[in-house]
Structure 1
Amino acid sequence: MVQDFTACEIAMNSAERVEHYAYRIDTEPDVGQAKPAKEWPSKGVIEFRNVSFQYAKSLPVVLNDISFATRDNEKIGIVGRTGSGKSSLMQALFRIAESNGLISVDSVDTKSVSLKSLRSSLAIIPQDPVVFSGTFRFNMDPLGEYRDAELWSALDRAGLKRKVEVQEGKLDGFVESGGENLSIGERQLLCLSRAMLKRPKILIMDEATANVDYETDAKIQKALREDFKETTILTIAHRLVTIMDYDRVLVLDHGKLAEFDTPKALLEREGIFYSLVMQTGESNATVLKKMAN
């Protein structure tokens, strides 16, 4: 009886979790009601104006009075030491928690539009690739909006076509839960192909190359330069070499915007960014400086 009771209790964990998520967790507040134009955003211009951000009222402020603006199709690298607020900047953009101040995309206040409209208009390739249990087709196009030719094209540009072609069922080949039958690099490339399929005007790279080898990193960087020329890219940099040829670099320090300029100008200023470059070692710093110039 004790064994049966214990087995039943363990088996009911799933039901308990469903009940908890369905009824005991508050739904995200969605204050936005406006429906932006279908083609929004068309330029991908992001503006932060006096933005302060904290994950909850009881927690400390992680972004303090941040103000900056991007240009059309600009490539922005975001750097800073651990705890400087790099990932929090992206959380504020996606409205994971509500912020003070103005965040706008193409002059539209992100708080005025619904969470669905906002988040569906942005694309993100996270540090830990999100892979679903199902087929390659489902992982790339869960809503069934694209043709097979478009799926294959995205896989080809992401460098994953050969992997999918040899699978039984090809596009309908099975991907295990969490992508267990794929390497970390292949999971990241699958996320990249998903972003390529969407062709967003704004792409967020949250240290997407932090856990991959240099070969996969090279594929991702090549795809970013070729496929996302007309996309505004915000990249949280794990390796400085990935953002040294970007248009501008935004440097955060303890939740504040410390520097924001071209890599070359920041190096000449010899501030925080310069010190980060020098910390990579003399030989690496020389290479990075050449890239910036």
Structure 2
Amino acid sequence: MRYQQNLPLVLNRFTCCIRPKEKVGIVGRTGSGKSSVGVLLLRLVERCGGSVLIDGVDISDVGLADLRSKLSIIPQDPVLFVSQLPLKLESEVVENGENFSVGERQLLCVARALLRRCKVLILDEATASMDAETDALIQETIRSSFQDCTTLTIAHRLHTLLASDRIMVLNQGQVVEFDTPSRLLANENSRLRSMMVAAGNKISVRG
């Protein structure tokens, strides 16, 4: 996938190439443009310039239904649309799924993504409302069940991204670092390393 974007206040001069089936972690300070990647891919807003290519196809040339059928997102605060669910699965669900915890709604999104067998999976703070044990279980499920899926993971728990093939560090809508975790952590001047230190995470560099 190749993303080229110049979207004011969202992504600015954002250019990189992600290989098929690659697992990419996305990090950055609040407002750096992390969640905007998902907004852009799903075309929740249309770009005002540049291009976004998936397998060489500009996503603007693809119908929204077709595009979104190939993408799945597990958001930080999922909303359940349940107009067709009364009495199904023998579960009562109130408007927006508010009788489920955020963590439970996130688990439902994980299950949905598993069933859809999508080509691109976006995890936007997907385990933010889960305890560490459930987080670890979900991360293992993602690793084993989405092996053939290009996965973009935004996470506040930086250590969960260290198993990624590469990590993208964003700052004010720009990619400032994009490399393997081991190379970034071995670089004493890297932003990822400084973020890990600031978060109190123990740095472990693997060859």
- Per the TM superposition, whether the score is higher than 0.5 is yes
Residues 170 and 223 of structure 1: is their aligned pair in 2 closer, same or farther, counting only changes over 3 Å?
farther
The answer to whether 1:275 aligns with 2:194 is yes
Structure 2 residue aligned with 1:229, among 143, 147, 153?
A: 147
2:168 match: 250
1:66 match: 14
The answer to whether 1:94 aligns with 2:42 is yes
Output one character per residue of 1:206-248: Cα deviation in whole Å (capped at 9) or x when no partner: 1111122112212211210111011100011111111101000
- Corresponding residue SS for 2:202: helix
Aligned length: 205
More strand by share: 2
Residues 185 and 217 of structure 1: is their aligned pair in 2 closer, same or farther, counting only changes over 3 Å?
same
Rounded Cα–Cα distance in structure 2 between residues aligned with 1:128 and 1:224: 19
Counterpart amino acid of residue 199 in structure 2: T
Rounded Cα–Cα distance in structure 2 between residues aligned with 1:246 and 1:70: 12
- How much has 1:134 moved relative to structure 2? 5.5
Tell me, which stretches of 5 or more residues in structure 2 are unaligned?
none
Structure 1 residue aligned with 2:68, among 101, 116, 119?
A: 119
Instruction: Say if 2:35 and 2:154, in contact at 8 Å, map to a contact too.
Output: yes
The answer to whether 1:285 aligns with 2:193 is no
Instruction: Say if 1:78 and 1:249, in contact at 8 Å, map to a contact too.
Output: yes
Residues 125 and 268 of structure 1: is their aligned pair in 2 closer, same or farther, counting only changes over 3 Å?
same
Rounded Cα–Cα distance in structure 1 between residues aligned with 2:46 and 2:88: 42
Instruction: Say if 2:69 and 2:118, in contact at 8 Å, map to a contact too.
Output: no
Rounded Cα–Cα distance in structure 2 between residues aligned with 1:216 and 1:179: 20
Rounded Cα–Cα distance in structure 2 between residues aligned with 1:74 and 1:196: 17
- Within 5 A, what are the aligned runs for 1:1-293? 46-49=1-4, 51-54=5-8, 61-99=9-47, 100-133=49-82, 138=85, 171-270=89-188, 271-281=190-200, 284-286=201-203, 289-290=204-205, 292-293=206-207
Counterpart amino acid of residue 114 in structure 2: M
- Corresponding residue SS for 1:82: coil
Tell me, which stretches of 5 or more residues in structure 1 are unaligned?
1-45, 55-60, 140-168
- How much has 1:181 moved relative to structure 2? 3.3
Rounded Cα–Cα distance in structure 2 between residues aligned with 1:205 and 1:197: 16
- Corresponding residue SS for 2:156: coil
- Corresponding residue SS for 1:179: coil
Residues 172 and 211 of structure 1: is their aligned pair in 2 closer, same or farther, counting only changes over 3 Å?
same
Which structure has the bigger radius of gyration? 1
Counterpart amino acid of residue 93 in structure 1: L
- How much has 1:178 moved relative to structure 2? 2.7
- Corresponding residue SS for 1:68: strand
Rounded Cα–Cα distance in structure 2 between residues aligned with 1:193 and 1:123: 11
Rounded Cα–Cα distance in structure 1 between residues aligned with 2:133 and 2:102: 12
Rounded Cα–Cα distance in structure 1 between residues aligned with 2:136 and 2:185: 24
Instruction: Say if 1:53 and 1:92, in contact at 8 Å, map to a contact too.
Output: no
Counterpart amino acid of residue 275 in structure 1: S
Instruction: Say if 1:133 and 1:177, in contact at 8 Å, map to a contact too.
Output: yes
